[in-house]
């Protein structure tokens, strides 16, 4: 299995590759700009160095995550327009960098209702996907189930996917799924959750997994990541999840904390250890 972490682009975007290599990753995820700003610098000067480093590193696939500010479901006209523009720009940046996957949150409808929010998400994703020229797959990430959020259930994601291009796929976040009510604490629970996913979305559209334990309880709606095996999903849950044969070819990205208990190296080792066959 391929495991990696989210790495910083501080200094220059090509340094993200060096950081992923130093952490002994097989794959990695990054932002292409500050996740907390709307504006961003041009990538032309650093793109070639990034592409060369990726090609020589053996790291694959590379994943880009959208910044935090865009809200693709927002009923506020100016915010929605800026969000669509941001998604389109990020697709173009991925094409320039030759990155195949772009993960995006679906946002909040802010009380306007799921149907209205879904229409805006479909519009935004469709416009961005039309610019990708099949070079970039936009991955819709499931959410933790906070109030007014879009995409916390497999049903909601399915209703969006049926309206967008087939190049649009899914990133499954284990913490978010657990927080929104999908149990993964033992083998039968993992099997049931994956069966639900397959029945509503299809495992063929699962292109990436975010491997995060959960600080919150099952169905809590709390988006708080924990070290792999040390949260409410636990070691037993992750052992059954990571050894499930349906997931063996799916890249795994960790977005776990860094603190006195563990760093990226510790979480990668924990995940790889739990993924070894019984």
Residues designated catalytic: 36, 65, 68, 105, 141, 173, 176, 210, 223, 225, 255
How far apart (Å, rounded) are the C-alpha atoms in residues 226 and 262?
10
Helix (H) or strand (E) holding 104: strand 101-104
Q: Is 214 left (phi over 0), alpha (psi -120 to 50) or beta?
A: beta
**What's phi and psi for 253, nearest 5 deg?**
-115, 130
CA neighbor of 87 nearest in space, from 179, 164, 3: 164
For tokens 């000067």, the residue is 45
Collapse the DSSP code of 209 into the 3-class scheme (helix H, G, I; strand E, B; otherwise coil) and give the result.
strand
How far apart (Å, rounded) are the C-alpha atoms in residues 6 and 255?
6
CA neighbor of 168 nearest in space, from 137, 189, 200, 210: 137
């Amino acid at each position: 299995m391929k495991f990696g972490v989210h790495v910083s682009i501080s200094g220059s975007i090509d340094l993200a590759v060096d950081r992923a290599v130093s952490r002994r990753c097989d794959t990695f995820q990054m932002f292409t700009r500050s996740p907390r700003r709307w504006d961003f610098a041009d990538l032309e000067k650093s793109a070639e160095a990034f592409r060369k480093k990726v090609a020589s590193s053996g790291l694959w696939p590379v994943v880009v995550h959208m910044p935090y500010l865009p809200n693709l479901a927002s009923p506020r006209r100016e915010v929605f327009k800026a969000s669509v523009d941001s998604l389109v720009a990020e697709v173009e940046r991925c094409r320039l960098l030759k990155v195949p996957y772009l993960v995006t949150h679906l946002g909040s409808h802010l009380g306007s209702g799921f149907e209205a929010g879904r229409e805006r998400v479909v519009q935004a994703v469709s416009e961005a996907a039309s610019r990708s020229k099949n070079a970039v797959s936009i991955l819709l990430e499931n959410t933790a189930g906070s109030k007014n959020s879009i995409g916390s259930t497999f049903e909601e994601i399915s209703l969006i996917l049926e309206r967008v291009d087939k190049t649009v796929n899914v990133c499954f976040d284990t913490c978010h799924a657990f927080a929104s009510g999908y149990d993964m604490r033992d083998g039968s629970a993992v099997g049931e959750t994956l069966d639900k996913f397959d029945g509503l979305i299809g495992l063929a559209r699962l292109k990436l997994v975010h491997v995060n334990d959960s600080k919150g309880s099952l169905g809590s709606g709390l988006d708080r990541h924990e070290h792999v095996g040390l949260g409410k999903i636990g070691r037993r849950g992750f052992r059954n999840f990571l050894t499930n044969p349906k997931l063996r070819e799916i890249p795994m990205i960790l977005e776990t904390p860094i603190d006195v208990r563990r760093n990226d190296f510790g979480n990668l080792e924990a995940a790889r250890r739990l993924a070894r066959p019984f």
